[in-house]
Amino acid sequence: MSAGESDFTRAERQQVLLTAIAEKLTAGNLLITLPGLLDAVRDNVATDIPSSRIPDVAAEIQDADLRDLEQVVLGPPDYVVAEAHTAAGYILVPIFDAISQLGQRIFGTSASQLP
């Protein structure tokens, strides 16, 4: 890894990529382009979504307002603390209060009430 790179910076880059893909998908008619897209990613993506539900999922994606999308990486220093550990290098300890507050803000309920 390069200096300053971590699993958390990689997660941030992955979110940027996924947002760009979502913007591309919602720009056109997803129901028409979806079969070709699924063929292109078939060997690299696994899902347990039944094929009968794909049109419903595509319709929801098509109607999504990406301006309301919030991206959060649950990393240090806001959501975890990295504690040194000789055998493992370090251990990430979650900051439960911060994560619960985030869950309440995003989902409107405390994280302990989520299924």
Q: 15 and 57: one domain?
A: yes
Tell me if 74 sits within 8 A of 99, measured CB to CB. Answer: yes
Q: 54 and 88: one domain?
A: no
Residue 1 inside a domain? The answer is no
Find the domain containing 103 and state its range. Answer: 80-113
Specify which residues 84 forms β-bridges with: 90
Q: 63 and 88: one domain?
A: no
Residue 75 inside a domain? The answer is no
Q: 63 and 87: one domain?
A: no
Ranges of beta strands (E only) in 1-115 are 80-85, 89-94
Number of domains in the chain: 2
Tens of pLDDT, residues 7-43? 888 888 888 887 777 777 666 666 566 667 667 767 7
CA contacts within 13 A on the Cβ side of 6: 9
The average confidence (pLDDT) of the chain is 78
**Residue 59, pLDDT above cutoff 90:** no
